[in-house]
Homo-oligomer: A and B are copies of this chain.
Amino acid sequence: MRAEIITIGDELLIGQVVDTNSAWMAERLNESGIELYQITSVHDDREHILKALDDAFSRADIVLTTGGLGPTKDDITKHVMCEYFGTTLVEDSRVREHIHELYKERPDVLNRLTATQWLVPESAKILTNRVGSAPIMVFEQTGKLLVALPGVPHEMKIAMREQVMPFLEFRERSQSELQNGASAYSLEASGEIIHRTMMLYGIAESTLAIRIEEWENALPTTMHLAYLPKDGIIRLRLSSYGEATKEEIEQQIANLKPLIAGNLIATEDLPLETILGNQLKARHQTIATAESCTGGRLAAALNAQSGASAYYMGSVVAYDNTIKEQVLGVKHSTLEKYGAVSEQTVREMAEGVRALMNTDYAIATSGIAGPTGGTPEKPVGTVWIAWATPDGTTAECYHFGVAREREQITQRAVTAALVELIKITKH
């Protein structure tokens, strides 16, 4: 089965909102073996939506849309869908009851605009939007399946997980059981879509490509290799679209590993904080951070996953120098003599927070995130990082470059801080 996503909303096309929905939906579709062919973002405009639907159905069997299902005047998706599928709106008592239940403690929201939310297209199957008022509509007509989802990310996600994906998976299974080529939905390939990702650090993309060239050139034509560099990490993804077995892929990975061993930090696509968290949990060890330029982002990474309290104790964001001295115990003379962005200061910060929070490990960061504050000796992008461990403290200076944005410099610092500790706690 081949699918497309259409995201609807002027806000996407004037750059007011970043479309995070598509990537999340793409991942879910992919996990279920449904190929996503294209993502299209269009205006809240009748003709534009109608044209995009026609185009998408010329290439795919399934179209998922997000957005334009709210109760206000600018939301036109439901009406356009009625036009496209030649149906009209009727009241749905199940949706009405659900919305009354949803807003039972907020009677002001049960107003006449919200009441338009329980009008649904007569020919559509309605799936429950457990956490919102916009009903999720499924249209099926002459071999075309359309699912219209709300654009609010958490409503879309819950509906996808609880309603839409189980529905699509059930449908796919039933179709394959028909075992007949006549169905418009018959799978093009019977095998699974398999992706395997290796995460590498400390190597340039082109250097890596040359190092593994012989291996890459010998790959069977049914497998495809992609290089995805981001924030100093390269994700190397080997994909097979239904024509290789798991064992064949694993064999290729086994051949690849010796070539990249020195730069490999994980054999699956996981957030760095998850890799580090798993290692710390396995060792029953704890961590704290003392942050200046990363400003709490290292802390946020370390507690991003549920269960982080098993290894993450806490952090001090010491943005001002007085906090470095008074809370972390950095010596006044150190700051005077070497400055806040120095090896001496980050070492004292790391050791200070490790003692304060009584942890096995501590990471400290201090740098110049820019765009202002650089000097000839310490240009924007200079970041000192220290790792205090049971075996002593190490520190390193990074130059993330004057050309990068503030946000990217701090992100690079978080990445470097995590990667080094992953290496330290690996063995």
Contacts and interface: CB of A to CB of B under 8 A. Distances in A.
Nearest to A3: B13
Interface string A100-127: 0000001011011110000000000000
A314 interface: yes
Contact of A13 (B14, B39, B308): B39
A154 B408 CA distance: 8
Contact of A36 (B14, B20, B24, B71): B14
A356 interface: yes
A140 interface: no
Contact of A72 (B18, B25, B227, B356): B227
Contacts of A25: 15
Nearest to A105: B399
Interface in A52-83: 52, 55, 70-75
Interface string A256-291: 000000000000010000000000000000000001
Contact of A315 (B22, B72, B73, B317): B317
A274 B427 CA distance: 44
B403 A158 contact: yes
A239 interface: yes
A424 interface: no
A425 B289 CA distance: 30
Given A16-B269, A114-B206, A210-B111, A73 B216 contact: yes
Nearest to A14: B30
A319 B327 contact: no
Contacts of A397: none
B405 A157 contact: yes
Contacts of A55: 55
Given A41-B39, A55-B55, A154-B403, A209 B72 contact: yes
Contact of A227 (B70, B224, B315, B370): B70
A184 interface: no
A319 B323 contact: no
B316 A314 contact: yes
A43 interface: yes
A198 to B, nearest CB: 13
A98 to B, nearest CB: 13
Contacts of A42: 38
Contacts of A407: 304
Most buried by B among A23, A106, A405: A23
A196 interface: no
A207 B319 contact: no
Interface of A: 10-20, 22-30, 36-44, 48, 52, 55, 70-75, 106, 108-109, 111-114, 130-131, 152-154, 157-158, 195, 197, 204-207, 209-210, 216, 224-230, 235, 237, 239, 269, 291, 295-300, 302-304, 306-309, 312-320, 322-323, 326-327, 356-358, 369-373, 401, 403-408
16 contacts: A11-B237, A14-B27, A15-B24, A15-B28, A16-B27, A18-B20, A19-B39, A70-B227, A71-B209, A72-B206, A72-B209, A131-B401, A313-B320, A315-B319, A323-B357, A327-B327
